[in-house]
Structure 1
Amino acid sequence: MGTIEAIKPGPKPNKPDGTPDERRRVTPEKREKHPDLKPHIHKPKD
């Protein structure tokens, strides 16, 4: 049986002050390119 290896993501971008950015976000000027997700409608017994 082989070993399981995790996929390592690349380095995260730094904030303008040089500290690492903890998460990626959509900035207000790019907001229109990223519409909100459609609401998920569950089917009966789903």
Structure 2
Amino acid sequence: MNTIQAIKPGPKPKKEDGTNDKRRRVTPETKPKHPGLKTHKHKRGD
């Protein structure tokens, strides 16, 4: 029987000094570097 493993949920990893690691977050200062998603076009009948 196959089991499905999900991505591990939970808090972001912390640095050695105990503060949160912010490398995985998009902050307002770095928002222009991250473009939005493209619009999804459906075919007729979908």
TM-score by length of structure 2 reads: 0.47
TM-score by length of structure 1 reads: 0.47
